[in-house]
Amino acid sequence: MGYVDDIIKLVAKKNPAEPEFNQAVREVLVSLRAVVDDNEEKYRREGLLERLVEPDRQIKFKVPWVDDKGNVQVNTGYRVQFNNAIGPYKGGIRLHPSVNLSIIKFLGFEQIFKNSLTGLPIGGGKGGSDFDPKSKSDREVLSFCRSFITELYRYIGADVDVPAGDIGTGGREIGYMFGEYKKIKGTYEGVFTGKGLTYGGSLGRTEATGFGLLYLTEEMLKYNGLDIKDKTVTITGSGNVAIYAAVKAEELGAKVVTVSDSNGWIYDPEGIDIAVLKGIKEVRRARLTEYKKYRPNSEYHEGRGVWSVPCDIALPCATQNELSLEDAKALVANGCKAVAEGANMPTTLEATEYLIENGVLFAPGKAANAGGVATSALEMTQNSERLSWTFEEVDSKLKEIMVNIFNNIASNASRYGATNNYVIGANIAGFEKVANAMMAQGIW
Ligand code: NDP
């Protein structure tokens, strides 16, 4: 048995109750087999993979807060600082009832390679809590965020670990967390990204993940002789990533026909009305059921079902494991040409393999959604320089980064004889830089 299989077994043995983490490790390591086999002796001697799959540290803590009725509520907080070989830990904070250690570890592990792919000096980490900001008042969210930071502040810092948004953590939550950190530490530093524009945030950060997803998708299509213009696009989710993916897709001349939330999904054959969508999700924080009121020709369906809608390009932008083998079969049967992951690990391993085997161009999340963290790193640079760049400057840097990422993953896929397998290309490109930095820095 090779080194890769040994490590997959080791992770399963040491972390038996962490299915998402095991899935992420398996997905990455299997696709690194060629490069690991080529360097097996050296990597084994250095214990490289054993060190790579073990977080530098994981912090789990109590988050007590008081709700509007005066009752004490208790949530669990997490921060997993996975690997800082190439820069300070960097990764979002997820606030969702489903959050547990396995999910935070899978996200932190993926983040190592994603951050490496951006070409910027940032390590991998992730955090979160099982707190659900939906249906909470601003005061309750503030109460939670303050308590969360009362513990987390010890472990983060502008040169140590720089958290950002993720599911459930938007501008409001980042503002509350930054305010509390500043109060406790008495320093004004770029410890969070995704901050408001009046206090160190970067223009273009809100749009970055969705826009970046479309820049990379456009490049992947172009490379394969296709044009995004006039293509039909299906999107899941209706949060930050989904909304700005839809905005850019429409700007590039494609038609977006679906969005979803955790209760149901919209099919709008005339193309999703972005202004209506933004009003529902960004202004009123309401449910998608409202959409039909403004767009009578659209359909609302309860539950899942977006992947049954015929499309040229599918963009999963909600959450992990939301595109199964059955969904992949439906996409292929309906003539889908490309899938690009806006969310983290939205496609199961079996579905990914099926799509690639059937000639669908597949851009994995660690490459396709890296625009968010890349722009976060640009926010860190602006904070260090005490400067603010224009939207156009940030957006053009983002586009350049996404085009570079695509070229990097395409050339690494070809280098290992896996032309057009961008999963292999992304994992190898992300891994080699981190592996070389780890080996240069001794044993830690
Ligand atoms: P948001 O919280 O803004 O939106 C998430 C969307 O997905 C919502 O529409 C939500 O519906 C839906 N959703 C969440 N959980 C589930 C679920 N279990 N089942 C069905 N639908 C669900 O998050 P983001 O848009 O920021 O993040 C979406 C994905 O993109 C995540 O995987 C995240 O890790 C990834 N990502 C985000 C980046 C960013 O910059 N924001 C950067 C890179 C990756 P509802 O409102 O009903 O819960």
pLDDT of residue 1: 79
- Say what the pLDDT of residue 4 is: 98
* Euclidean distance between CA atoms 429 and 412, whole angstroms: 6
* Mean pLDDT computed over 344-373: 96
**What digits encode the pLDDT tens for the residues 410-419?**
999 999 999 9
Catalytic residues: 126
Mean residue pLDDT of the chain comes to 97
Q: Measured from the CB, is residue 193 less than 6 Å from ligand 1?
A: no
Say if residue 108 is in the same domain as residue 139: yes
With respect to residue 326, please indicate whether it lies within any of the assigned structural domains. Answer: yes
Of the candidates 188, 219, 237, which is a domain's last residue? 188
Asked if residue 384 belongs to a domain, the reply is no
Q: Report which protein residue has its CA nearest ligand 1's atom 37.
A: 166
Structure tokens at 313: 């390009």
The atom number, within ligand 1, closest to the CA of 344 reads 32
**Does ligand 1 come within 6 angstroms of the Cβ of 372?**
yes
pLDDT of 191 over the 90 cut:
yes
Per-residue pLDDT at 135 exceeds 90: no
On whether both 131 and 248 belong to a single domain, the answer is no
- Domain boundary among the residues 158, 188, 218 is at 188
Task: Give yes or no for residue 430 having a pLDDT over 90.
Answer: yes
Structural domain including 302 reads 207-368
C-alpha 200 to ligand 1 mean position (Å): 24
Number of domains in the chain: 2
250 and 147, same structural domain?
no
Separation of CA 263 and ligand 1 centre (Å): 13
Q: Is residue 81 part of a domain?
A: yes
Q: Is 408 touching ligand 1 by the criterion CB < 6 Å?
A: no
Same structural domain, 331 and 224: yes
DSSP for 156-202, written as a single string: -BTTTEEEE-BTTB-HHHHHHHHHHHHHHH-------SS--GGGT--
Residues 364 and 426 sit within 8 Å (Cβ to Cβ): yes
Q: What is the mean predicted confidence (pLDDT) over 274-300?
A: 96
Does a structural domain hold residue 3?
no
Q: Which tokens go with 334? A: 């309906």
CA of 439 relative to ligand 1 center, distance in Å: 35
Q: How confident is the model at residue 200 (pLDDT cuts 50, 70, 90)?
A: very high
